[in-house]
């Protein structure tokens, strides 16, 4: 698609989207696909299951865009109005494709769930010259239709798995051939931990103004990302454009960059411990198993993760982790002294190379002036009597889940940094 083209729009159809009943993952996925094709994607719209409103939006889009991609509203129920509304937008009639009805009946011939599926017949009606997009995973086909010169519509069902399959089987090649020029977008994302967006941004102001590649910052809870995107004819050319920028960033922020693209703190940590042939265990209090879950969500974690003790009460800290009542009474469960003892004792009890213990006040209740909500102690015990103690006070305006999640991130990143320093 040339630089002076009018671009592509996405129209998501469904009242459930407007009500917030479901998250619009389809628009996100299609956006990523369009970026890979190097297409100008300027706008997304969402409209409910109302024929007149759908017609109005489609007519508006036809005046400003070359390509419209719709999702949703292709089913058999009365509120599935997409195809009907598209036809109405351009004053054309719908005609049945009998072979589609035969295909639908064949797909459902062994179904015991539907005694009468005649309502599905409405899915067989399309404008006369529309090209059908086969739906191998469902009963609702889509279409490729050019109702007026220079404007094409592609329709997809709202079910994500069906939409993606249809895109990959039919739409991708069609869009690439008809709308994409020889250039595509290729991205490489660097992931940061232990540093904020503003701290990075003020050091890379010159890079943020680049035209090719472009750099886009994204901040998530406990993590910061920089996506470097190059416009190029192929991946090799894109990598050559991205490489000098990436090298500059890695040199500037070597301590804070923990991975790229699909890397996560747990996956990076598992990889490093596996390489060292070392194991890890946890003793958790305020995170209630979230730290353990973060590791076990990654395939291959069994190579390094031995297990954990979630000791929420003082009684279990005493009976399972051998924290003396005297220590608990003197310092309190949320203290550096108790947390360090938890790490040392769980490491010995579960026979691991590394142990992380965590204890804190996640709120919203339970804080005092001396120990406020957001106070978290982390202790890391390792080989050769290594002990690292970390005290964090997270903003008390954060909710319980956020404090727990941030605590887990600090645990994992702290160990990553220890391993990084040991490898030098």
**Domain, as residue range, for 249:** 184-260
252 and 359 together in one domain: no
Nearest 5°: CA angle at 382, between 268 and 319? Answer: 110
Q: Distance (Å, rounded) from C-alpha 231 to C-alpha 245?
A: 14
Average pLDDT over residues 237-255: 95
Domain end among 230, 245, 260: 260
Burial class (CB in 10 A: 0-12, 13-18, 19+), 160: middle
* In a shared domain, residues 124 and 173: yes
Task: State pTM to two decimals.
Answer: 0.76
Mean pLDDT of 380-403: 94
Assess whether 284 and 356 both reside in one domain: yes
Model pLDDT, residue 186: 87
Residues 199 and 344 in one domain: no
- The pLDDT assigned to 116 comes to 58
Q: How confident is the model at residue 201 (pLDDT cuts 50, 70, 90)?
A: confident
Least confident of 170-174, 194-198, 279-283: 194-198
pLDDT at 351: 97
Residue at 88 is within a domain = yes
Q: Which residues contact 111 (CB under 8 A, 6 or more apart)?
A: 117
- Tell me the pLDDT of the chain averaged across its residues: 93
Residue with tokens 């990076």: 268
Residue 3 lies in a domain: no
* 254-282 per-position pLDDT tens digit: 999 999 999 999 999 999 999 999 999 99
Q: Do 298 and 414 lie in a common domain? A: yes
Instruction: Based on the fold, state whether residues 274 and 406 are members of the same structural domain.
Output: yes
Q: Are residues 297 and 414 in the same domain?
A: yes
**Nearest Cα to Cα of residue 301 among 326, 269, 328:** 269
Q: Are residues 20 and 154 in the same domain?
A: yes
Mean pLDDT of all residues in 7-11: 95
- Residue 1 is assigned to a structural domain of this protein: no
Query: Residue 401's pLDDT is what?
Result: 95
Reported as a single tens digit per residue, the pLDDT across 325-378 is 999 999 999 999 999 999 999 999 999 999 999 999 999 999 999 999 999 999
Those residues with Cβ within 8 angstroms of residue 155's Cβ, 6 or more apart along the chain or in another chain: 70, 71, 74, 82, 83, 86, 133, 142, 143, 145
What total number of domains does the chain contain? 3
The domain that holds 336 is classified in CATH as 3.90.950.20
CATH number of residue 236's parent domain: 3.30.70.2860
Instruction: Please report the pLDDT score of residue 2 as a whole number.
Output: 44
Q: What is the pLDDT of residue 383?
A: 96
Helix (H) or strand (E) holding 358: strand 354-360
């Amino acid at each position: 698609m040339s630089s002076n083209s009018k671009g592509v729009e996405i129209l998501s159809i469904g009242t459930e989207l407007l009500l917030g009943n479901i998250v619009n993952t389809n628009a996100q996925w299609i956006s990523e696909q369009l970026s890979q094709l190097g297409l100008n994607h300027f706008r997304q719209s969402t409209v409910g299951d109302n024929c007149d409103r759908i017609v109005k939006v489609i007519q508006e889009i036809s005046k400003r865009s070359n390509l419209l991609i719709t999702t949703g509203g292709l089913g058999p129920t009365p509120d599935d109005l997409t195809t009907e509304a598209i036809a109405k937008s351009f004053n054309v009639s719908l005609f049945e494709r009998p072979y589609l009805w035969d295909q639908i009946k064949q797909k459902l011939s062994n179904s015991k769930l539907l005694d009468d599926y005649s309502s599905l017949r409405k899915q067989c009606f399309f404008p006369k010259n529309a090209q059908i997009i086969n739906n191998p995973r469902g009963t609702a086909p889509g279409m490729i239709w050019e109702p007026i010169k220079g404007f094409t519509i592609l329709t997809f069902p709202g079910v994500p798995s069906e939409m993606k399959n249809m895109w990959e089987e039919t739409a991708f090649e069609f869009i690439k051939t008809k709308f994409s020029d020889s250039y595509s977008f290729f991205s490489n994302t660097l992931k940061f931990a232990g540093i904020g967006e503003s701290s990075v941004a003020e050091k890379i102001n010159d890079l943020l103004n680049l035209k090719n590649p472009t750099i886009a910052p994204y901040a998530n809870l406990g993590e910061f990302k920089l996506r470097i995107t190059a416009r190029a004819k192929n991946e090799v050319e894109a990598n050559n454009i991205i490489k000098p920028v990436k090298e500059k960033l890695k040199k500037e922020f070597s301590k804070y960059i923990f991975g790229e693209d699909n890397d996560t703190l747990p996956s990076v940590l598992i990889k490093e411990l596996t390489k060292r042939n070392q194991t890890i265990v946890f003793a958790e209090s305020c995170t209630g198993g979230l730290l353990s879950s973060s590791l076990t969500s990654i395939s291959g974690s069994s190579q390094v993760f031995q297990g954990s003790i979630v000791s929420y009460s003082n009684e279990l800290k005493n009976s399972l982790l051998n924290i003396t009542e005297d220590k608990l009474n003197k310092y309190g469960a949320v203290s550096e002294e108790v947390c360090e003892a938890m790490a040392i004792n769980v490491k010995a009890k579960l026979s691991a190379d590394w142990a992380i213990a965590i204890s804190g006040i996640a709120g919203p209740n339970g804080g005092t002036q001396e120990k406020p909500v957001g106070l978290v102690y982390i202790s890391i015990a390792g080989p050769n009597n290594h002990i690292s103690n970390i005290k964090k006070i997270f903003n008390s305006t954060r909710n319980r889940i956020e404090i727990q999640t941030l605590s887990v991130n600090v645990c994992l990143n702290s160990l990553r940094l220890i391993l990084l320093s040991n490898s030098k």
